[in-house]
């Protein structure tokens, strides 16, 4: 008898210790954030949206930020996330590898939901051809970013450099776009590839940097960000969430939140919006399923 009880408990323990996602979803909704820029400011930027959605769904919404881009994919399930704001590449990977459902795409001020990537060097770095950068230090954002990594990789490939690890003396990943820009600006690195919107934000904040940095190359517009959710999320919640996000710009409270986030509105997401990412992957000779976004831990 005793053995039978222990056996039942053992069998039920996974369910007891890891409750079904629906159960957690009913208690709170966890939204993940990638470290697109300074994690503190980025987290703070999304707090108004979390509060807004919390009121909309009448349940708490907890934000969780990850220190690495790739972590959002690796730790989505581990952290019991219901959804996350992904970058272009991480979003594309999540849709395909985790089977998440793309929900909405934020539209930036000016009406665009996509922005290019910039390859930036310091102006004091002598550069006539790309070959001049050989042996320099590259500060990249993350392997799981389109503009912070794939773009530079495809750019270098286009210039005949197939192994950037050996081309540069050192390659390190700052984890965020702004850190990458500051790394170049501070002289800790010579070249970087970042999201143009982050670059312009930093330049706006610190105009002197514009004099110190130089944009070497510009990519095609790539989707800026995408919010994906679990595919098995409560349809009623999904409906409210989708409707609420798409109509945010139509009510004052929502408009105010969008204003704080520097956004104009949200639009519905679809796979077509990831076309450029797919091209970039193809350009470096891979696809989404084969691409290794993980950075080797040192």
Give residues in contact with other proteins (CB under 8 A).
35, 38-41, 43-44, 63-68, 142, 170, 172-176, 178-179, 182-183, 188, 295, 297-298
Q: Which is nearer to other proteins, 194 or 238 (CB)?
A: 194
Least Cβ distance, residue 107 to other proteins (angstroms)? 26
CB-based contact 148:180 (threshold 8 Å): yes
DSSP, res 249: G
Least Cβ distance, residue 75 to other proteins (angstroms)? 10
Is residue 6 classed as helix, strand or coil in its secondary structure? Answer: helix
Q: Which is nearer to other proteins, 199 or 274 (CB)?
A: 199
Least Cβ distance, residue 114 to other proteins (angstroms)? 23
Residue with tokens 């350009």: 283
Q: Which is nearer to other proteins, 138 or 238 (CB)?
A: 138
Least Cβ distance, residue 275 to other proteins (angstroms)? 28
Give the CA radius of gyration of the chain. 21
> If you write DSSP's letter for every residue of 119-174 in order, what string do you get?
EEEETTS--SSGGGGTT-EEEE--TT-IIIIIHHHHHHHHTT---HHHHSSEEEE-
Least Cβ distance, residue 157 to other proteins (angstroms)? 22
Is residue 194 classed as helix, strand or coil in its secondary structure? Answer: strand
Q: Which is nearer to other proteins, 66 or 152 (CB)?
A: 66
Q: Which is nearer to other proteins, 67 or 112 (CB)?
A: 67
CB-based contact 128:214 (threshold 8 Å): no
């Amino acid at each position: 008898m005793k053995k039978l009880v222990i056996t039942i408990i053992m069998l039920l323990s996974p369910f007891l210790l890891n409750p079904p996602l629906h159960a957690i979803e009913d208690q709170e909704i966890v939204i993940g954030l990638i470290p697109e820029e300074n994690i503190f400011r980025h987290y703070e930027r999304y707090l108004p949206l979390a509060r807004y959605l919390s009121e909309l769904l009448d349940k708490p919404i907890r934000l969780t930020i990850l220190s690495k881009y790739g972590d959002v994919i690796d730790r989505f399930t581990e952290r019991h996330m219901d959804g996350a704001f992904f970058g272009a590449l991480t979003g594309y990977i999540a849709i395909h590898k985790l089977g998440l459902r793309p929900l909405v795409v934020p539209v930036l001020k000016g009406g665009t939901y996509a922005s290019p990537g910039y390859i930036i060097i310091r102006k004091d770095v002598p550069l006539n051809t790309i070959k001049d950068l050989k042996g320099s230090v590259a500060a990249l954002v993350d392997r799981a970013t389109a503009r912070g990594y794939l773009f530079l990789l495809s750019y270098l490939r286009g210039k005949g450099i197939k192994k950037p690890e050996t081309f540069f003396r050192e390659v390190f990943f700052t984890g965020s776009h702004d850190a990458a820009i500051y790394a170049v600006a501070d002289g800790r690195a010579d070249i970087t590839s970042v999201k143009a919107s982050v670059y312009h934000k930093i330049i706006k904040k610190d105009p002197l940097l514009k004099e110190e940095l130089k944009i070497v190359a510009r990519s095609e517009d790539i989707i800026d960000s995408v919010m994906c959710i679990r595919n098995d999320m409560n349809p009623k919640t999904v409906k409210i969430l989708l409707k609420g996000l798409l109509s945010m710009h139509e009510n004052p409270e929502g408009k105010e939140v969008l204003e704080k986030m520097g956004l104009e509105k949200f639009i519905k997401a679809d796979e077509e919006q990831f076309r450029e990412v797919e091209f970039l992957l193809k350009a470096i000779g891979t696809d989404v399923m084969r691409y290794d976004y993980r950075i080797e831990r040192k």
